Structure 1
Amino acid sequence: MAYRSAFYVYDQEKPVPVVIRNYTVSDIAELIAIQAECFPPPFPSELWWNEQQLKGHIALFPEGALCVEVGGELAGSLTGLRVDFNPAHPAHKWEEITDNGYIRNHNPLGNTLYIVDISVRPKHRKLGLGKHMMQAMYGVVIQLGLDRLLGGGRMPGYHKAAAELTPEQYVSEVIRGERRDPVLSFLLRCGRTPVSLVADYLDDEESLHYALLMEWRNPFKGMEENAVWTIEE
C-alpha cells in the first residue's frame, strides 16, 4: 500500500511544508547524492546506495522505502526490509541481515521491520525529519502487524571516548544522559530502546565497528515486557 503524509514542520518560527512518501526510480540520483552528503569520509563511499540497490528496495519492499521532501526538495530517506528476528540470538552483521543493502533476502513473512539506513541532508537536520520518518515507519509496522522495528545504531562518538571507556560504558553513559551520541541519542528520542551491543557490525571507524541494536515494539502486539538495559559499570 502506498504511503503519503503531508504536514508542516517549523523552521524557527516559519511553517515549512513536508511530505513523506515512498521513493521511486525517479528519486534514485538524488538519493545517492544525499548519501554522499550524509556519510563523508572516513565513512566508506562503497557503502553509499547505488542504483541497483535502490531499484531493489522499490521492487522488493516498497512499503519500507520512504523519503521526505521539504518544500518540494528531496531531503532524506529511510529504508527497511522484513526479517524473521529471534531475540534470543540477536548478534549479526549489517551486511548479512541486509544482504549488503540489496535486501534480496527480504522475507515477506518476517516478524520484524529492520532498518537498513536513515539519511537526512545536513542542512535540514534541525527540522526533525529523521524522527518524523521513523514515526512513519512505526506506522508501517502496525499496518503490517509486525512485532517490532529493529536496527543497529552507529556509535560515531565512541572513537573520541574509546581510550577511557569500554563500548558498554559508553552506551551506559548515553542512556543515563551523561553523554550525547549523534546517532544513539537521536534513536532514543525517536522511542527506540536498546536490545544488545554488537561488535563488528559494520565497517565504521568512528564507531570502532560497534553498533547498538535498538527496537520499537508494536504496542498492539501481546509480547513480553521490554528488557531493561543493564551494563557493568
Structure 2
Amino acid sequence: MFKQLKVTDGHRMLTLTIRTYELEDFENLIALQAECFPPPFPSDLWWNLDQLTEHVSRFPEGALCAEIDGRIVGSMTALRVAMEDEMSHTWASVTDDGYIRNHDSEGDTIYVVDLCVAPQYRKLGIGKWLMQSMYETVVHLGCRRLLGGGRMPGYGEYADKLEPWQYIDRVSTGELYDPVITFMLRCGRLPIGIVAGYLEDEQSAHYAALMEWRNPFKVER
C-alpha cells in the first residue's frame, strides 16, 4: 500500500503518507514504540527485530506505517486468522505474542495486533486514517471483517460499580468516554463482546472489548 493525503489539527495542514513498512524502517518503528509506550511500560514489550521481520515477510499487507516529512509517526500491524471461538482468546494467543507466525493466508478475519501514534501527532487523525487503510485491506483481500480487542482504560474507575458490558454500553451511547473504545467507535467499529483476561492491564481490569468492522461488500451466507 502507498497513499498520500492531507491531515490537519485545525492549525497545521500536513502531507501524510501511509505505506507498507519495510526492513529499513525497523529501527524507527522500535523508536516509535518507545515514544508511545515510555517507562514504566516494559521495554521488552516494544517490537523487536524478529517480530518486525515476521510481520513484513508473513503479511506485508498488514504492516502499515504513517509518515510525515520523512518521519514515521504511526504504525498499525495486523494478521489474517480464522476465528473458531472468538470469545475465548488473549492478545498473546491470537497474535502469537506479536510474532504472527500463526498467520493464515486463507483466514476470513483481519485481526489488529497493534496501533500507535506518536504523542505530538495525535490530533491529526492519523490513527483513524491508519484504521481506514486497514479497512481497505480487508476489502481488497475479500475478508469478512476486521476484528481486535480494545483496551478499556477508563473501566478501572468504574469496575466496582459496573460490569464490563455495562461500561461498554454506556461508552457506546456517549454517556461515558473511554480513550480507546470511543476512538474505535468513531472509526466505525462496533463492540460484539467482552473478553476476560485479554491482557495484563490493570486499567482495564484485564478485560477487552472485542471490536469489529464488517466488510460492507462481503455478503454473509
Question: What's the TM-score bracket when you normalise by the shorter of the two chains?
Answer: over 0.9
Alignment-derived partner of residue 227 in structure 1:
none
CA shift at 1:78, angstroms?
0.3
Match of 2:77 among 67, 76, 79: 79
Unaligned residue ranges in structure 1 (runs of 5+) = 225-233
CA shift at 1:41, angstroms?
4.3
Q: Give SS of 1:206's match.
A: helix
Q: Quote the Cα distance in structure 2 between the aligned partners of 1:45 and 1:115.
A: 21
Report whether the alignment pairs 1:217 with 2:214: yes
Report whether the alignment pairs 1:117 with 2:114: yes
Does the CA-based 8 Å contact 2:154-2:203 persist in structure 1? yes
Q: 28-37 vs 142-151, which deviates more?
A: 28-37
Q: Structure 1 residues 79 and 128, CA, compared in 2 at 3 Å: closer, same or farther?
A: same
CA shift at 1:89, angstroms?
4.3
Q: Normalised by the size of structure 1, how large is the TM-score?
A: 0.91
Q: Give SS of 1:223's match.
A: coil
Q: Quote the Cα distance in structure 2 between the aligned partners of 1:219 and 1:44.
A: 39
1:88-127 to 2 correspondences below 5 Å: 89-127=86-124
Unaligned residue ranges in structure 2 (runs of 5+) = none
Q: 99-108 vs 9-18, which deviates more?
A: 9-18
Report whether the alignment pairs 1:131 with 2:128: yes
Q: Give SS of 2:55's match.
A: helix
Q: Quote the Cα distance in structure 1 between the aligned partners of 2:173 and 2:86.
A: 26
CA shift at 1:51, angstroms?
1.1
CA shift at 1:173, angstroms?
1.2
Q: Structure 1 residues 103 and 48, CA, compared in 2 at 3 Å: closer, same or farther?
A: same
CA shift at 1:31, angstroms?
1.0
Q: Quote the Cα distance in structure 1 between the aligned partners of 2:37 and 2:53.
A: 21
Q: Give SS of 2:106's match.
A: coil
Q: 108-117 vs 26-35, which deviates more?
A: 26-35
Q: Quote the Cα distance in structure 2 between the aligned partners of 1:221 and 1:189.
A: 22
How many equivalent pairs are there? 221
Q: Deviations over 1:8-63 (max 9, x none)?
A: 11132332011000001111111112112222345443322111101110111000
Report whether the alignment pairs 1:165 with 2:146: no
Q: Quote the Cα distance in structure 2 between the aligned partners of 1:196 and 1:221.
A: 22
CA shift at 1:164, angstroms?
2.2
% identical equivalent positions: 54
Aligned alpha-carbon RMSD (Å): 1.4
Match of 2:178 among 156, 177, 181: 181
Give the counterpart letter for 1:128 in structure 2.
Answer: G
Give the counterpart letter for 1:25 in structure 2.
Answer: L
CA shift at 1:179, angstroms?
0.8
Q: Normalised by the size of structure 2, how large is the TM-score?
A: 0.95
Report whether the alignment pairs 1:199 with 2:196: yes
Q: Give SS of 1:186's match.
A: helix
Q: Deviations over 1:178-208 (max 9, x none)?
A: 1111100000000001111000001112111
Q: 56-65 vs 11-20, which deviates more?
A: 11-20
Q: Quote the Cα distance in structure 2 between the aligned partners of 1:204 and 1:27.
A: 29
Structure 1 runs of 4+ with >6 Å offset: none
Does the CA-based 8 Å contact 1:156-1:182 persist in structure 2? yes
Q: Structure 1 residues 131 and 208, CA, compared in 2 at 3 Å: closer, same or farther?
A: same
